[in-house]
Chains A and B, each alone.
Chain A
């Protein structure tokens, strides 16, 4: 009975009353309470957001978190569009390399190669790299936010992504990169 009481002994900071066990005990073992919800829920009490110091407990805090997540998702879409634009702009400079190649009848022809791209140590490429890191980090943050399974925050992510796409892609709608993955 002591371990039976142990389940209810855990205080509310780790196990809000809404979250009941929905996953089955297929792996047997003890009565391990899941710390993380695995289904969508709508609640604003005791919601941990990314960092241990960010805990939402009131509707006001949830509203603030909603706005912050919304803006983060919007910023992410804007960053994607901005990187595309920067890449296009920096590829205006075209390098020509001429090299001799053997041609028919034993003659030597000059073949000109046109390369469109950035050099490794050029400033545009370094800037792209820094922006890429920021983009990767933000995309993982958004994934982790969605992983809280909190309905309000997930809606904020989706709405922010849609609004950011709408606002920033207005002019760049002609160039579409479809090979990107879910982020």
Chain B
């Protein structure tokens, strides 16, 4: 394996069928990797937004009670409305876990793409991360 960055129009990325031979193919691959890096940064923000949205959609007192309940680990009676809230919280958390798995996998894919030591791909990752951060992070403070 080449252990230094090279400029090349040929690479094989991640899967057997993703083999690049031409400048056009390389440009397309760089674009795909760039979008993957943008998606990665977006998912990080998306997880927080998903959490905030769920907390807001629950009635305020209930959401605080929910957080306190889960913190104090209180076992015992849950009236049906609280059960419904617990179910929604469970679904939200399950959804967040799935998003977390996607984030982990995309993070590793981007790392493996950089490991190809192709300079164009690396620049694509850097630009994609920058673009993704630039686009996504302002959405965080927009509560």
Interface residues of A (CB under 8 A from B): 22-24, 26-27, 34-36, 38-41, 143, 146-147, 149, 154, 157-159, 161-163, 165-166, 169-171, 173-174, 176, 178, 181-183
Contact = CB atoms under 8 A, between A and B. Distances in A.
Contacts of B73: 171
Contacts of B67: 174
A75 to B, nearest CB: 14
Contacts, number: 94
B70 A178 contact: no
B113 to A, nearest CB: 11
Contacts of A147: 112, 115
A157 B101 CA distance: 9
Interface in B1-27: 1-2, 6, 8, 10-12, 14-16, 18-19, 21
Contacts of A166: 93-94, 97, 100
B40 A39 contact: no
Contact of B40 (A146, A159, A182): A182
B100 A39 contact: no
* B interface SS class: helix
Interface residues of B, number: 42
B1 A38 contact: yes
A26 B7 CA distance: 10
A46 to B, nearest CB: 18
Contacts of B87: none
B104 interface: yes
B2 A27 contact: yes
A20 B37 CA distance: 29
Nearest to B43: A178
B97 A39 contact: no
Nearest to A27: B2
B110 A182 contact: yes
